A and B are shown apart, each in its own frame.
Chain A
Amino acid sequence: MGLTGLFLISFLVVHAGVNACIWANDGGVLFNKVAHFMGSMIIIRILEVGLFAGIFIHIIQGYVLEFTNRSKRNIGYKINLGNRGSKWYSRSMGLLGTILLLFFIIHWKQFWIPSRFTGVNEVLIDGKEVHNMFNLMQVTFTEPWVVTVYVLACFSLAWHLMHGFQSAFRTIGVHNKRFLVLIQSAGIAFSIIIPLAFAMMPVSMYLGWVK
Chain B
Amino acid sequence: MEHYSMNLTLKVWKQKNAKAKGSFETFEVNDISSEMSFLEMFDVLNEKLIHEGKDAIAFDHDCREGICGTCSMYINGRPHGPWHGTTTCQLHMRAFKDGDTIVVEPWRAKAFPVIKDLIVDRTSFDKIIQAGGYISVNTGSAVDGNAMPVEKDNADKAFAAAACIGCGACVAACKNSSALLFVAAKVAHLALVPQGAPERKTRVMNMINVMDKEGFGSCTFTTACEAVCPKEISVTNISRLNQEYFLAGLTGDK
Q: Mark A residues whose CB is within 8 Å of B.
A: 1, 65, 68-69, 71-82, 84-87, 90-91, 93, 163, 166-167, 170-175, 177, 180
Contacts and interface: CB of A to CB of B under 8 A. Distances in A.
B237 to A, nearest CB: 8
Nearest to A170: B239
B246 A173 contact: yes
Contacts of A74: 108, 110
Contact of B220 (A80, A82, A167): A167
Interface residues of B, number: 41
Interface stretch (B31-39, B40-48, B141-149, B221-229): B221-229
Contact of A77 (B108, B227, B240): B108
* Residue of B177, B221, B242 most packed against chain A (CB within 10 A): B221
A73 B242 contact: no
Nearest to A169: B239
A72 B236 contact: no
Contacts of A73: 108-110, 177, 217
Contacts of A71: 110
Contacts of B176: 69, 72
Contacts of A86: 175, 222-224, 227
B76 interface: yes
B76 to A, nearest CB: 6
Interface in B117-161: none
* Residue of A73, A163, A166, A180 most packed against chain B (CB within 10 A): A73
Contacts of B237: 175
A81 B236 contact: no
Given A72-B215, A85-B225, A180-B236, 13 more contacts: A69-B175, A72-B176, A73-B110, A74-B108, A76-B108, A77-B108, A78-B24, A79-B103, A81-B77, A85-B173, A85-B228, A163-B221, A180-B239
20 contacts: A69-B177, A69-B220, A72-B176, A72-B178, A75-B108, A79-B77, A81-B227, A85-B78, A85-B222, A86-B175, A90-B221, A91-B175, A167-B220, A170-B221, A171-B221, A175-B237, A175-B239, A175-B240, A180-B236, A180-B239
A171 to B, nearest CB: 6
B111 A72 contact: yes
